[in-house]
Amino acid sequence: MSFNTALLLTQVQMKATLPDGRYTDNEVMSVAHDVLLSQMVPLVLSLKEEYYVANESQAITINVASYPIPYKAYGLSLREVKLIDGTSIRDLYRIDPTAITSTATGTPTSFYLEGQDVVVYPTPNSTTGTLKLSYYLTPNKPVLTTASAVITNIDIATGVITATVPTTWTTSNKFDFISQRNGHKSVASGLTATSLTITTAEFNVADIPAALIIGDYISLEGEAPYLQLPDSAFGLMVQLISNEFLEDLGDAAALQAGMAKSGELKQAFISSLNVRVVGAPKRSRIRM
């Protein structure tokens, strides 16, 4: 079974018994996006099992202290900040900006946050090292399957991908490749198409990842025809979305039953995923 947004629409329609014509498909997708970001992502992150973790490296620049937090970071928050120098990886420790007492430069040992930036301290006095920012990736916005293009062939020699391309797409857009597999991650993001026709999308050969397979999707950057969650969360998402519509419809009895059902599904989801590696206890230190 393909847990895509077409199935999501069908199941929400059934669970919430939506009146014909009351809500558009795009309105359902909008509610799904809200539920994903406001309820499901916080739940998944609370399990502390490294879901959605991504990393971005930025070269240290002499006399530059501020470096932007990746714009795809959920809540513009970071998991950790490290400095890589050759083969050495060091944690930078967070400090309060009021603790800054000097304008001296040197090798950064700490950092603080300022708006949407990480500010390292002291200000670098050389270009040695790379700043590694670890963060939680914001899932793509769920959209209708018709707003994406399912891949039916991949020519890795030419970069031409066969798919039914939406007529509104142009080469000025950016694109993501979305996996059909469990979790439905973006296997590549922010790509530019060199050519688009009704039946093909051509990309630079170097931009086509080895993990891309027939049945995956091309989507506009930041969109996906799947919920970027483990498939085991699909039923919970359907119920949570349905609850939003039951509340809007004023169906108190059905909403009460739906809330109870979502509570059961939430506990089942947590118990099945709160330990991702059952046979390997976690250590806080590495043995060298």
The CA distance from 125 to 248, in Å, is 58
Q: Count how many residues are written for the chain.
A: 288
Return the residue matching tokens 């769920």.
Answer: 142
Other beta carbons within 10 Å of 225: 26
**Average pLDDT, stretch 3-11?**
97
Domain endpoint, select from 106, 137, 168 = 137
Q: What is the pLDDT of residue 287?
A: 57
Would residue 288 count as lying in a domain?
no
Write down the pLDDT at residue 53.
Answer: 96
* One domain, residues 195 and 221: yes
Question: Is 283 contained in some domain?
Answer: no
Q: Is residue 195 in a domain?
A: yes
Question: For position 164, what pLDDT does the model report?
Answer: 97
Domain assignment present for 281: no
Q: Which of 137, 158, 179 is the last residue of a domain?
A: 137
Q: Of the candidates 84, 111, 137, which is a domain's last residue?
A: 137
Q: CA quadruple 263, 49, 74, 234: dihedral positive or negative? A: negative
| Cα–Cα dist 83/90, whole Å | 5
- Within this chain, do residues 211 and 248 fall inside the same structural domain, yes or no? no
Which three-class secondary structure state does DSSP give residue 207?
Answer: helix
pLDDT score for 71: 95
Whole-structure pTM value? 0.91
pLDDT tens-digit readout, 86-119 = 889 999 999 999 989 889 899 999 999 999 999 9
Tally of domains in the chain: 3
| Residue among 32, 19, 53 nearest 276 (CA) | 53
Q: By the 8 A CB rule, do 229 and 269 touch?
A: no
Q: What are phi and psi of 179, to 5 degrees?
A: -75, 140
The domain in which residue 214 lies consists of 140-226
User: Is the same domain home to 165 and 194?
Assistant: yes
| DSSP secondary structure code for residue 52 in this structure | T
Q: Residue 257: which region, alpha, beta or left (left: phi > 0; alpha: psi -120 to 50)?
A: alpha
Residue 287 placed within a domain: no
DSSP structure class, residue 92: P
Q: Is 191 part of a structural domain of the chain?
A: yes
